[in-house]
């Protein structure tokens, strides 16, 4: 697209609705109960229902499967196994051919589906699925990532090394060094709407699949691959998801493929909605990590060298573990300059469900590890960790302290200003002093406070994914149909992109109809992931709208015999010289003059490049920044705690919609806080995940959110890159803000020993981990 | 059984429904979504933990019409006789204008993905009906049974505050506007007849306690369902096929709360919510415990009698009840028998309930004003979580400050809720101080050998149990140091 044309637009004062706080486009339907999710759609006559047949071994050969009782059960129409996949039984998104739709002879994690039952009702399918008799031969299993390291377990994909300078030598020469290990737990997405796919067969090879997916194009490609039909035969649609958070980037493939196979085989619509427990057992989660680190530093807390290995529990297959563990390394520096650095990843194969994308995509784990190193240095020197942070921030471009471990320059650094502002606004120093005094006299309750920064790189590290398409139609009545490759999972993407279009044409938002994402309108799209939704789709849609607008301008200039610069789009009207006509009127005239009122838009992120072999490049178009300050109280008798107050200052560039962006920041904070506090995944010795439903897996409640919760956007920030409206991505970066909660808990624990030791509080910091850390420190 | 009916009747939004062919374990959620195509009510977990399926159920309590939020996913249709079920579709006016509660959620950006939203609407609507100007503590309590993964709750709480603070005078309210009609109709429906549906009496709604005893005599293996907060999961998660199922939630006689100078009697059908005001007044610590059992939806359905009868090793209320010396009355067609509650729990999964017997009531002896009673629930998440352990302490001191009587009971520390006999013995007769508590703590190791599971490790359970004795000592000596989110919380 013409970047200069866009430049003109963004530097001019913009009228609403772009940059205005607008409600979510579906808000009214949400509260009325009339927003349709896939399970709410009317079912065509003859609709069948599917259920997963799950195995109960962590690692075993399947010797036999007997479906006699399953097939005799009421309502059962058929049973599908790996052999029934018409073309391929593989849905590996990394194309490593390591992810079967259904286990074929080998069970690699407890619960792995080995068959699917299709029945007249969902209840009949679920009941029947429990009646199979499977005979196994057990094989040894590895569940825990620390065990996997110990046993040098195989890797699911090639590891990454990031290297700058000579870390080993610099460690040897550092005045002080320390070593440590941190364990960081995984996380269940817990989207409120579990996975669902609804396949409706068509003529020839055709099938339409409604899928709750962040990546319709991939579902399309996987379904066509499994069926052995061209991609053009498969149409995938999604209007909205009941939450995604990365959990619906690749994990919907299985349900969509099975529903489509059954639908084509039986020539009847097939709906596949797993139960919550099945969803949590059979679909991937955030990766757990074990970080082994070594830091060299001086007496003032300046970090001189960092060497760290990031090992991850990837599960049985590669899925997205390669890029996830890469992104962990990309964020091990967070906002800090490491003069010498050596980072390695270790994507471990384990007999657990294959871990996958989750908001932050490895970045949070990388960052938590990096912040642990800062904390260790601070405790080793008896300094306030905030002081150590400030001393290690990246410098201005040209300072010699602006190069990341992957050799990208940090050109847009605003972290020092953000942190200073937050430190002042949150009254950090005075509150810290008061807390230190409180802890001196309080026997049972102890408090902690921490202020931590976030710097998060924006772009898919797989360069090809940084492209997007859109389709805009203007109808004769002036109403506008908007479609793009992005998906709506609650984050407000549809609203933001509609604002872009409405702004471009200067029409009311209501004139723009947001339509369900479908592979039939915009092809070859990327996942709505990596926080890139509005950056990519906003630009693609703008590009489409701009083409139509330019045609309208050309038409008007010709008809009114004037020059294009005499034509201005003003709210709901177009001014041509001194004449002013309503937008729909111009559209109608244009139609009769045979002006093409539809356009496909396209965008690709400029500048970025990345060479994984050399570990060098510019994987990120820009960085998003933020900082948070958290205060907590803990009970040193039980380990229970409360988050008393949180202050956040976050950078979204020039916000496309401050209401939506603040919602993203608040929501990400609480979700990230859950990851670091109460959300614990627990496997038993048989490799069974025992926390597979909300009764056992505890995401935050309203009463867990910070008691005082002040969230501010850095309204002075503008993206230095010409992104849509100079905004910045917002989905993932704020997820890492609650690292300050973990560290505030850590400070409260440290108080029992006069802050002499770093508590090394692992995540999630459940009440149990807090109490055990208190006990450890008391023992000295 | 003399008077028998073959159908259950209830009001669904604005229509009366008569069902003569409903399964004993058909859930309200499936009925709404599959049979009525009322798809605003969502399934998020099918175990009563996420609240996406929240609907209001109105019932007659005496002459009063009471509306409570419940989890439709684990509520059986058979339990709805003579009630008014209100779903999210009923809230907006006929012209589509949103109810103020809905409008506030829109105005404050309280929905993102929107899937949990209908449940939040219903919980907040329930709060709106029952409480003027709710504070943050009230709002958080009303939302304990609703999970949202997108918003971080802040905008939802702000919406609730705003709509509670400025209640418009002339709002069309779908429930208030039809209150009289509903009350009259429910009275007509609630005849006291026993309802039997299906061959072999698959579904029974007894019209009286005597009818219940008779049903159980004929069908000793029948499943008794009061709140279905436990049995609901047998069906949705374990896919158990239950028949016959006997619904007792409509039996007014089991819902009596009787206070005498000797103590308090709770009928087996008294829900947590119904018991709360009395228990919180008599034993404030018990009230605070109830605040942390499930969410409002579960407390509105679940009964203390059911909690005892199902014999969970965690047992939300049994540790507190045992520490208070509660006695259980079991009834059958042959008569009644009374036993101390701790004797009811024999071992994991086994209770002293004979075929044909049902829990009729619980009696809690009156505590003296000088008694010290505390109950501490420890869980991974503060609210709406199952205890990792729960300790209850009931202490009386003599004039010299020595331990006169002491009853300690823990849940989560053994296969059943269990008294700490050795710890009690180690401390009785000694001066109530740190030395004595240290003796009790040492003795606890003999009382309990807890397990490691997903809620906590054995080591954490043992350590915390001992530390709770310290907390109790501090509390009884004026050094209370428990974390509280809101001081003087509702």
Encode pLDDT of A612-665 as tens digits: 999 999 999 999 999 999 999 999 999 999 999 999 999 999 999 999 999 999
Q: What percent of chain A has pLDDT over 90?
A: 97
Query: Can you give the pLDDT at residue A9?
Result: 37
Round the CA-based radius of gyration of chain B to a whole number and report it: 23
Closest Cβ opposite residue B454 in set A40, A667, A682 = A682
Contact residues for B181 (Cβ-Cβ < 8 A; gap 6+): none
Q: Note the pLDDT of residue A400.
A: 95
Check CB contact under 8 Å for A445 and B483: yes
DSSP B109-148: T--SS-SSHHHHHHHHHHHHHH-SS--HHHHHHHTTT---
Nearest to B381 among A42, A693, A701 (CB): A701
Contact state of B380 with A690 under an 8 Å Cβ cutoff: no
Cα angle value A169/A172/A176 (rounded, 5°) = 135
Q: What does A315-345 look like in DSSP terms, one character per residue?
A: -SS-TTHHHHHHHHHHTTTTTB--SEEEEEE
Residue of A nearest to B471 (CA): A637
Mutate to test the interface with A, among B56, B114, B136 (most CBs of A within 10 A): B114
Residues of chain B with C-beta less than 8 angstroms from the C-beta of A771:
460, 463-464
Candidates B92, B220, B274, B440; CA nearest to A32 is: B92
Please give, rounded to a whole number of angstroms, the shortest distance from the CA of B47 to a CA of chain A. Answer: 8
Q: Is A409 on the interface with B (CB under 8 A)?
A: no
Question: What does each of the 490 residues of chain B score in pLDDT, given as a tens digit?
Answer: 446 799 999 999 999 999 999 999 999 999 999 999 999 999 999 999 999 999 999 999 988 999 999 999 999 999 999 999 999 999 998 888 999 999 999 999 999 999 999 999 999 999 999 999 999 999 999 999 999 999 999 999 999 999 988 776 667 788 988 999 999 999 999 989 999 998 866 999 999 999 999 999 999 999 999 999 999 999 999 999 999 999 999 999 999 999 999 999 999 999 999 999 999 999 999 999 999 999 999 999 999 999 999 888 787 899 999 999 999 999 998 999 999 999 999 999 899 999 989 999 999 999 998 999 999 999 999 999 999 999 999 999 999 999 999 999 999 999 999 999 999 999 999 999 999 999 999 999 999 999 999 999 999 999 999 999 999 999 999 988 889 898 754 4
Structural domain boundaries in chain B: 4-89+178-247, 100-165, 255-365, 372-476
B149 vs A637, A639, A699: nearest CB: A699
pLDDT tens string B303-341: 999 999 988 878 789 999 999 999 999 999 899 999 999
By C-alpha distance, the chain B residue nearest A127 is B239
| A700 contact B CB<8A | yes
Strands A76-80 and A113-119: what pairing?
Answer: antiparallel
A457, β-bridge pairs: A623
Residue of B93, B149, B479 best to disrupt the A interface, most CBs of A under 10 A: B149
* Domain B255-365: CATH class, spelled out: alpha beta
Among A residues 349-368, those touching chain B with beta carbons less than 8 Å apart: none
CB contact under 8 A, A32 and B46: no
8 Å CB contact of A666 and B42:
no
For A3-35+467-604, which CATH class?
alpha beta
Residue A560: CA count within 13 A, CB half-sphere: 23
Lowest mean pLDDT among A4-8, A209-213, B277-281: A4-8
Contacts of A593 (CB under 8 A, 6+ apart): A555, A559
Chain A residues whose CB is inside 8 A of the B109 CB are 23-24, 27, 659-660, 662-663
Homologous superfamily in CATH for domain A46-140+195-273: Aldehyde oxidase/xanthine dehydrogenase, a/b hammerhead (3.90.1170.50)
Query: How much is the pLDDT for A3?
Result: 40
Are B479 and A443 a contacting pair at CB < 8 A?
yes
Tell me which chain A residues have a C-beta less than 8 angstroms from the C-beta of B45.
Answer: 276, 693-695
Q: What is the structure's pLDDT at B167?
A: 75
> Are residues B105 and A680, on separate chains, in Cβ contact within 8 Å?
no
- Residues of chain B neighbouring A659 (CB-CB closer than 8 A): 109
Exposure of A213 in the CB half-sphere (CA atoms within 13 A): 33
For residues A324-338, give the mean pLDDT.
98
Q: How confident is the model at residue A1 (pLDDT cuts 50, 70, 90)?
A: very low
Q: Is-catalytic flag, A732?
A: yes
- Cα of A421 to nearest chain B Cα, Å: 23
For residue A705, give the nearest of B87, B154, B385 by CB distance.
B154
Which residues does chain B have within 8 Å of residue A699's beta carbon, measured at their own beta carbons? 147, 149
User: Hey, what CATH class is A288-461+611-779 in?
Assistant: alpha beta
A571 token code pair = 């709210």
Tokens describing residue A52: 């997963």
Out of A640, A732, A743, A775, which one is annotated catalytic? A732
From the list A24, A308, A20, the residue with the least C-alpha distance to A167 is A308
What is the bridge-based pairing of β-strands B257-260 and B263-267?
Answer: antiparallel
Please give the mean pLDDT across all residues of chain B: 94
CA angle A255, A260, A262 (to 5 degrees): 100
Contact check, Cβ <8 Å, A242/B114: yes
- Which has the closest alpha carbon to B343: B421, B289, B269, B265? B421
Contacts of B144 in chain A (CB under 8 A): 701-703
Residue A15 pLDDT > 90 = no
Tell me the nearest-neighbour CA distance from A395 into chain B, angstroms.
33
**Is domain B372-476 given the CATH code 3.30.390.50 in the classification?**
yes
Question: Which residues of chain B does A668 touch, with a Cβ-Cβ cutoff of 8 Å?
Answer: 152
Pair of tokens at residue B260: 């005498």
Angle between the N-to-C axes of helices A385-392 and A363-381, in degrees from 0 to 180, rounded to the nearest 10: 110
For B147, the closest of A27, A659, A694 (CB atoms) is A694
Verify whether the Cβ–Cβ distance B150 to A243 is below 8 Å.
Answer: yes
A24–chain B Cβ distance below 8 A for any pair: yes
State whether residue A241 sits within 8 Å of chain B by CB: yes
Q: What DSSP line would sit under B43-56, residue for residue? A: -S-SSSSS-TTEEE
DSSP H or E stretch at residue B65:
strand B64-71
Q: In this complex, is the C-beta atom of A124 within 8 Å of any C-beta atom belonging to chain B?
A: no
How large is the average pLDDT for residues A83-106?
A: 96
* DSSP code for A80: E
Q: What are the start and end residues of each CATH 3.30.365.10 domain in chain A? A: 3-35+467-604, 288-461+611-779
Residue B391 · residue B465 · CB < 8 Å: yes
The string of pLDDT tens digits covering residues A716-743 is: 999 999 999 999 999 999 999 999 999 9
Q: Which of A260, A259, A253, A261 is nearest to A283 (CA)?
A: A253
Chain B residues with CB under 8 Å of A193 CB are 42, 44, 113, 115
Give the pLDDT of residue B315: 77
pLDDT of residue B201: 62
DSSP assignment letter at A271: E
The secondary element (H helix, E strand) that includes residue A717 is none
Look up residue B141 and give its two tokens: 């309590």
Minimal C-alpha gap between B477 and chain A (Å): 14
Class for domain B100-165, per CATH? mainly alpha
- DSSP states of B146-184 as a string? ---SSS-SHHHHHHHHHHHHS--TT---TTGGGHHHHHH
Interface of A with B in 432-471 (CB under 8 A): 442-445
Give the number of beta-carbon pairs within 8 Å between A and B.
Answer: 266
The SS3 call for residue A554 is helix
Burial (Cβ within 10 Å: 0-12, 13-18, ≥19) of residue B369: exposed
Residue A111 · residue A281 · CB < 8 Å = yes
Q: What is the DSSP letter of A578?
A: T
Residues of A in contact with B452 (CB under 8 A): none
User: Class for domain B4-89+178-247, per CATH?
Assistant: alpha beta
Three-state secondary-structure class, residue A417: helix
Instruction: Suggest the residue from A703, A704, A771 to mutate for an interface test with chain B (most B CBs closer than 10 A).
Output: A703
Residue from the list B114, B151, B460 with its beta carbon closest to the beta carbon of A666: B151
- Looking at residue A248, its pLDDT comes to 98
Put simply, whether A28 touches B (Cβ < 8 Å) is yes
Residue B66, sorted as left (phi over 0), alpha (psi -120 to 50) or beta, turns out to be beta
Note the pLDDT of residue A14.
40
User: What is the DSSP pairing of strand B223-225 with strand B203-205?
Assistant: unpaired
Indicate yes or no: CB of A642 within 8 angstroms of CB of B386: no
Tell me if A531 sits within 8 A of A626, measured CB to CB: no
Minimal Cα distance from A279: which residue of B?
Answer: B45
* Mean predicted confidence (pLDDT) in A419-444: 98
- In Å, how far are A400, A688, B180, B468 from B452, measured between CA atoms? 52, 15, 54, 19
Asked if pLDDT for residue A7 goes beyond 70, the answer is no
User: What is the mean pLDDT of the segment spanning A673-696?
Assistant: 98
């Amino acid at each position: 697209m013409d970047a200069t044309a866009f430049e003109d637009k963004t530097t001019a004062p913009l009228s609403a609705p772009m940059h205005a706080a607008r409600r979510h486009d579906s808000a009214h339907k949400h509260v009325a109960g009339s927003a349709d999710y896939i399970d709410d759609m009317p079912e065509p006559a003859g609709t069948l229902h599917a259920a997963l047949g799950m195995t109960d071994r962590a690692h075993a050969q399947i010797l036999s499967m007997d479906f006699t009782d399953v097939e005799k059960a009421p309502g059962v129409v058929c049973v599908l196994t790996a052999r029934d996949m018409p073309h391929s039984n593989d849905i590996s998104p990394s194309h490593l051919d390591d992810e079967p739709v259904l286990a074929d002879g080998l069970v690699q994690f407890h619960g792995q589906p080995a068959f699917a039952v299709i029945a007249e009702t969902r209840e009949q399918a679920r009941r029947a699925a429990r009646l199979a008799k499977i005979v196994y031969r057990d094989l040894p299993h590895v569940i825990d990532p620390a065990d996997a390291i110990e046993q040098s377990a195989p890797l699911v994909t090639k590891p990454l090394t990031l290297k700058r300078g000579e870390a080993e030598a610099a460690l040897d020469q550092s005045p002080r060094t320390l070593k440590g290990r941190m364990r960081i737990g995984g996380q269940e997405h817990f989207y409120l709407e579990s996975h669902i796919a609804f396949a409706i067969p068509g003529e020839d090879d055709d099938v339409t699949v409604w899928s709750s997916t962040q990546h319709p194009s991939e579902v399309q490609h996987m379904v066509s691959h499994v069926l052995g039909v061209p991609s053009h035969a498969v149409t995938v649609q999604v209007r909205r998801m009941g939450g995604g958070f990365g959990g619906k980037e690749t994990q919907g493939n299985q349900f969509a493929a099975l529903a489509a196979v059954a639908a084509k085989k039986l020539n009847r619509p097939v709906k596949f909605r797993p139960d919550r427990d099945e969803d949590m057992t059979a679909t991937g989660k955030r990766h757990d990590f074990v970080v082994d680190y070594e830091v060299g530093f001086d007496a003032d807390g300046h970090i001189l060298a960092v060497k760290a290995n990031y090992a991850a529990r990837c599960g049985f297959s590669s899925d997205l573990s390669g890029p996830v563990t890469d992104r962990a390394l990309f964020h091990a520096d967070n906002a800090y300059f490491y003069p010498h650095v050596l980072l390695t990843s270790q994507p471990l194969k384990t007999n657990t469900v294959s871990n996958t994308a989750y908001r932050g995509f490895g970045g949070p784990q990388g960052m938590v590890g990096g912040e642990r190193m800062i904390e260790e240095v601070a405790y080793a020197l008896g300094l306030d960790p905030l002081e150590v942070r400030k001393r290690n921030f990246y410098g201005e471009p040209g300072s010699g302290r602006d190069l990341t471990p992957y050799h990208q320059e940090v050109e847009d650094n605003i972290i020092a200003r953000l942190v200073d502002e937050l430190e002042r606004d949150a009254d950090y120093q005075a509150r810290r002093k008061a807390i230190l005094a409180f802890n001196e006299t309080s026997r049972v309750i102890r408090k902690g406070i921490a202020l931590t920064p976030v710097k998060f790189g924006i772009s898919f590290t797989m360069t090809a994914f940084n492209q997007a398409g859109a389709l805009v139609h203007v109808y004769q009545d002036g109403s506008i149909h908007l479609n793009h490759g992005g998906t709506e999972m609650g984050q407000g993407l549809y609203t933001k992109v509609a604002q872009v279009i409405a702004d471009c044409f200067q029409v009311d938002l209501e004139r723009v109809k947001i339509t369900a994402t479908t592979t039939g309108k915009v092809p070859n799209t990327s996942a709505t992931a990596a926080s890139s939704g509005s950056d990519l789709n906003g630009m693609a849609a703008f590009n489409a709208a701009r083409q139509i607008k330019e045609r309208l301008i050309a038409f008007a200039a010709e008809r009114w015999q004037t020059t294009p610069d005499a034509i201005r789009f003003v709210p709901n009207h177009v001014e041509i010289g001194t004449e002013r006509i309503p937008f729909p009127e111009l559209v109608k005239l244009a139609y009769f003059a045979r002006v093409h009122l539809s356009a496909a838009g396209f965008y690709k992120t400029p500048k970025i490049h990345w060479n994984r072999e050399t570990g060098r490049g510019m994987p990120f178009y820009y960085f998003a920044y933020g900082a948070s300050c958290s205060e907590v109280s803990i009970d040193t008798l039980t380990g229970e705690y409360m988050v008393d107050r949180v202050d956040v200052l976050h950078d979204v560039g020039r916000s496309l919609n401050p209401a939506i962006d603040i919602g993203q920041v608040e929501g990400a904070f609480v979700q990230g806080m859950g990851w670091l506090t109460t959300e614990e995944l627990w496997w038993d010795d048989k490799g069974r995940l025992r926390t597979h439903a909300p009764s056992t897996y505890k995401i935050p409640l309203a009463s867990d959110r910070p008691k005082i919760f002040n969230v501010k956007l850095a309204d002075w920030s503008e993206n230095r890159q010409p992104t849509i409206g100079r905004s910045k991505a917002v989905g993932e970066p704020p997820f890492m803000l609650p690292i300050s909660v973990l560290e505030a808990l850590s400070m409260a624990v440290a108080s029992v020993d006069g802050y002499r030791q770093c508590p090394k509080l692992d995540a999630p910091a459940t009440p149990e981990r807090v109490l055990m850390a208190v006990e450890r420190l008391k023992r000295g | 059984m003399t008077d028998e009916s073959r159908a259950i009747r209830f009001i669904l939004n604005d229509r009366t429904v008569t069902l003569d062919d409903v399964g004993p374990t058909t859930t309200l959620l499936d009925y709404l979504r599959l049979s009525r195509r009322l798809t605003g009510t969502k399934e998020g977990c099918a175990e009563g933990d996420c609240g996406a399926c929240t609907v209001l159920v109105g019932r007659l309590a005496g002459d009063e019409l009471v509306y409570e939020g419940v989890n439709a996913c684990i509520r059986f249709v058979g339990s709805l006789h003579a009630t008014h079920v209100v779903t999210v579709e009923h809230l907006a006016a006929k012209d589509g204008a949103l109810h103020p509660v809905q409008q506030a959620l829109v105005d404050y950006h309280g929905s993102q993905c929107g899937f949990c939203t209908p449940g939040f609407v219903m919980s907040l609507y329930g709060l709106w009906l029952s409480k003027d100007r709710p504070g943050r503590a009230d709002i958080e309590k009303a939302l304990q049974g609703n999970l949202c993964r997108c918003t971080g709750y802040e905008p939802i709480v702000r919406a609730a505050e705003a709509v509670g603070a400025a209640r418009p005078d002339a709002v069309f309210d779908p429930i208030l506007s039809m209150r009289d009609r509903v009350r009259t109709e429910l009275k007509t429906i609630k005849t006291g007849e026993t309802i039997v549906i299906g061959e072999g009496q698959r579904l029974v709604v007894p019209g009286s306690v005597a009818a219940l005893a008779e049903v159980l005599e004929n069908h000793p293996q029948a499943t008794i369902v009061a709140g279905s907060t436990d049995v609901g999961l047998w069906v949705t998660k374990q896919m158990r096929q239950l028949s016959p199922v006997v619904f007792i939630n409509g039996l007014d006689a089991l819902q009596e709360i009787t206070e005498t100078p000797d103590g308090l009697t709770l009928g087996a059908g008294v829900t947590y919510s119904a018991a709360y005001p009395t228990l919180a007044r008599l034993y404030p610590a018990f009230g605070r415990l109830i605040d942390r059992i499930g969410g409002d939806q579960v407390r509105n359905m679940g009964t203390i009698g059911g909690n005892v009868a199902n014999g969970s090793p965690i047992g939300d209320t049994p540790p507190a009840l045992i520490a208070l010396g509660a006695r259980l009355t079991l009834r059958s067609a042959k008569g009644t028998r009374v036993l101390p509650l701790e004797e009811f729990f024999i071992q994991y999964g086994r209770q002293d309930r004979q075929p044909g017997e049902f829990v009729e009531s619980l009696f809690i002896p009156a505590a003296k004003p000088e008694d010290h009673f505390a109950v501490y629930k420890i869980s991974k998440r503060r609210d709406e979580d199952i205890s990792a352990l729960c300790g209850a302490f009931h202490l009386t001191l003599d004039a010299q400050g020595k331990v006169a009587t002491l009853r300690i009971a823990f849940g989560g520390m053994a296969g059943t809720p269990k008294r700490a006999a050795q710890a009690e013995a180690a401390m009785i007769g000694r001066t109530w101080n740190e030395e004595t508590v240290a003796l009790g703590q040492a003795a606890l190791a003999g009382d309990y050998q807890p397990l490691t599971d997903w809620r906590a490790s054995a080591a954490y359970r043992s350590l915390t149990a001992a530390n709770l004795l310290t907390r109790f000592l501090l509390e009884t000596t004026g050094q209370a140091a428990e974390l509280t989110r809101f001081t003087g919380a509702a």
